Structure formats: C-alpha cells, structure tokens
C-alpha cells in the first residue's frame, strides 16, 4: 500500500501549495535506485538522492505487514538494508524508496516525504536472492528515540563512526544487559552477523 499520493493527487497538491504559498520554495528531491535486492525478509537499496534522508519501505498486501527504515544520505548517495520478519514466499509485496526531509516515526509527519519522485515496485517476493543474516528469532521491531553510536559490547567501545539515528526502526533483542555501572544496553540487528549494542534509553 503506497504511502504517497497518486501522481494526479501529488501534482494537484504541489500546484495548490504553489498558488497559496508563493513566498515559500517547495523542496522536491528525487530518490533514485541504482541497485536493489528484494526478498521475503530483506529489501536492500542503493542509489542517489538530493534529500537529506531516504525511507526504504516494504508492505505485504496479503497480510498488511508494513516495515520501513529512515537512513541519512551522504554526498548525494545512500545505501541501506531493511530487514523484516520472513514473509511467506510468493507474498504480494510493495517495495518503495523515497526522499524524506528528516527522521520521523509517523506517516502523518510532514517530513516523511519530500514530494519528489520515488521508487515504487509491486512483485511477489522470493527467498533466493539475499544471502545475508536473518532477523534473530524473538527480536522485536522498535523505534530509536535518540541518535547514538553503536558499541561492541555493553559499556564497550564505539564501532568506528557507525551510528543509529532517532526515527529509525530496528529489530531489538528484548533481553537487555547492564554494564559495570548499572547502565542498561540493548542489542540491535543491523543486517550483519554481529549485532552491536546501544543504550536501552534510546529504544522506544
């Protein structure tokens, strides 16, 4: 189920805004997909955009399951992987990528879509194309309520310049751990075989 208006509605909306808000300049940033991998448990997309953020989105028409992640772009490019619980093979899926003005947690947020062109594809999902790790059993999807570096262990060291951002969603281990100071830490699935740790206070 597409989260953006139809082309006709979008054009009408943009025209209306242009007429009644002439002093403001509309921001329309396209999100192009140069390569992607789409399966019943992952949607990996790489491309170009002039938007500050990109939303990678998947929807199962058969079950109503809806999943998305908001990632920052860098230097006009982006690359991200949306992981979600395995859907039955052959499920009727919708895969989309669009530019966003900021991170968000609700599609009613005016920053969720910048009004630009977006990637939109309907197809039946398959399981054979993606060789990466699956979401660990029992982990649950949660929002990030703050931006933070990711760490190699509870109370450990940051892993390079890697981070999660407020407004993103990840699958999180519901079992937390505390470090020597008593601070609580949660493990997040970032589509790699080693899942890093973040402060539990950033998990919504």
Beta bridge partners of 99: 54
Each domain of the chain, given as residue ranges in start order, spans 27-124, 140-202
111 and 102 Cβ atoms separated by less than 8 Å: yes
| pLDDT tens for the 204 residues of the chain, in order | 566 544 333 433 333 333 333 333 334 568 889 888 899 999 989 989 999 999 999 999 999 999 999 999 988 999 888 999 999 999 999 999 999 999 998 899 999 998 888 999 999 998 865 556 677 889 888 888 999 999 999 999 998 878 888 888 788 999 999 999 999 999 998 877 788 999 999 998
Q: Residue 46: what are its φ and ψ, rounded to 5°?
A: -135, 140
In residues, how long is the chain?
A: 204
Q: Which residues of 58-89 are buried (b: 16+ CB within 10 A; e: fewer)?
A: bbbeeeeeebbbbbbbeeeebebbbbbbebee
Superfamily of domain 27-124: Immunoglobulins (2.60.40.10)
Q: What is the DSSP letter of 199?
A: E
CATH 2.30.30 fits 140-202, yes or no: yes
Take residue 185 and report the two structure tokens written for it. 């830490």
> Which of 28, 66, 73 is closest to 49 using CA atoms?
73
């Amino acid at each position: 189920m597409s989260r953006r208006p139809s082309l006709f509605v979008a054009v009408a909306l943009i025209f209306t805004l242009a007429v009644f808000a002439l002093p403001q300049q509309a921001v329309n940033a396209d999100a192009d997909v140069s390569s992607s991998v789409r399966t019943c448990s992952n949607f990996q997309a790489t491309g170009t955009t002039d938007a500050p953020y990109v939303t990678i989105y998947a929807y199962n028409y058969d079950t109503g399951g809806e999943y998305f992640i908001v990632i920052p772009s860098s230097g006009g490019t982006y690359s991200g992987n949306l992981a979600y619980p395995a859907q039955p093979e052959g499920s009727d899926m919708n895969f989309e990528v669009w530019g966003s003005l900021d991170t968000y947690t609700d599609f009613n947020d005016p920053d969720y879509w910048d009004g630009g062109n977006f990637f939109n594809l309907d197809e039946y999902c398959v399981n054979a194309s993606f060789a990466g790790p699956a979401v660990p059993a029992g982990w649950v999807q949660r929002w990030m309520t703050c931006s933070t570096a990711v760490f190699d262990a509870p109370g450990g060291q940051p892993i390079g310049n890697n981070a999660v951002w407020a407004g993103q969603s990840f699958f999180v281990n519901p079992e937390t751990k505390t470090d020597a100071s008593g601070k609580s830490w949660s493990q997040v699935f970032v589509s790699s075989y080693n899942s890093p740790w973040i402060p539990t206070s950033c998990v919504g």
